[in-house]
Amino acid sequence: MSAAFFTLHDDLPREGPGRAEDVAWALGLGGAMPGARVLDAGCGPGADISALLLAVAPGGHVVAVDAHAPFVHQAERRWGRDSRVTLVTGDMRDVDGPFDVIWCAGALYFLGLLDGLRVMRDKLRPGGLMCFSEMVVRVPAPDADLRAALEAEYPAIGDQTRLKGMIRAAGLDLIGQKILPRASWEAYFQPMEKRIAQLRPTADEDLAAVLDEAEAEIALWRRYWEQFGYALSVVRRPE
Ligand SMILES: C[S@@+](CC[C@H](N)C(=O)[O-])C[C@H]1O[C@@H](n2cnc3c(N)ncnc32)[C@H](O)[C@@H]1O
């Protein structure tokens, strides 16, 4: 990530669509789980840690890992002294399980979806729950400029049927799946729009390019939100 990219992203509350309500919905499908050991894989700045702790209280513990050290430093500012949280800078593939729950918001595709599902399945205890969000197309024929943008950003993107097939192929049982609502995207984009407005007047060439790209991403979603989105899936490793 470039310095200009981090100038935009530094201290944003989150790095992808999501809200506490989404965590509560997903973990709620697994029933009560006090004391559970949770992995937040690709935690970014740690936006979901609070809701994860709530879902596994009392006695739960969250191991939050991200490959990008500045995001982990952000999470450390809030959670560094909390004994219920362990923060790790590193690759999610290298964290030792087993976990009762794996939460992975917008980060599994970095591993390749099927490989990522298999790697994470092996870190779950038998019967353990994994909740992950993955970008999907929601219509059979997206508009041409959306298709071009998605192909450039995420060539392997598919629909919910493909996603369900991958889950089965990874040996996981699907418990629930929903498309994240618009509010989850606004929770990501609104703080970013405020930051763009602050930075724009004094941006140099590198930063202006990063701001342009972020604005284009937001505009694409505002125009085409009915045609693509994030599917939040809740799956279980069979006993
Ligand atoms: C779209 S962001 C989502 C962050 C966070 N879950 C959130 O919703 O705010 C994806 C995150 O995955 C992290 N990431 C990508 N590959 C990773 C890997 N192999 N191990 C750990 N983190 C990774 C990135 O650094 C980034 O913070």
What's 172's domain CATH number?
A: 3.40.50.150
Are 16 and 217 contacting, i.e. CB atoms less than 8 angstroms apart?
no
| Ligand 1 and 65: CB distance under 6 A | yes
- Beta carbons within 8 Å of 204's beta carbon, 6+ residues apart: 4
In a domain, 33, yes or no: yes
Tokens of 134: 């993955």
Tokens of 100: 């009762």
**CB-CB neighbours of 221 under 10 Å:** 19
Domains in the chain, number: 1
Q: Tell me the residue range of the domain where 110 lies.
A: 14-141+154-181+226-236
Q: Per-block average pLDDT, block size 10, for the chain (239 residues)?
A: 89 96 96 94 98 97 97 96 98 97 97 97 97 97 94 92 97 98 98 97 96 96 97 97
Query: Which atom of ligand 1 is the closest one to the Cα of 92?
Result: 20
In a domain, 80, yes or no: yes
Would you state the pLDDT for residue 237?
98
In a domain, 215, yes or no: no
- State which of 11, 50, 66 you would mutate to test the pocket of ligand 1, scoring each by most atoms of that ligand within 8 A of its C-beta: 66
Report d(CA 46, CA 66) in Å as an integer: 9
In a domain, 218, yes or no: no
* pTM attached to this predicted model: 0.97
In a domain, 122, yes or no: yes
In a domain, 84, yes or no: yes
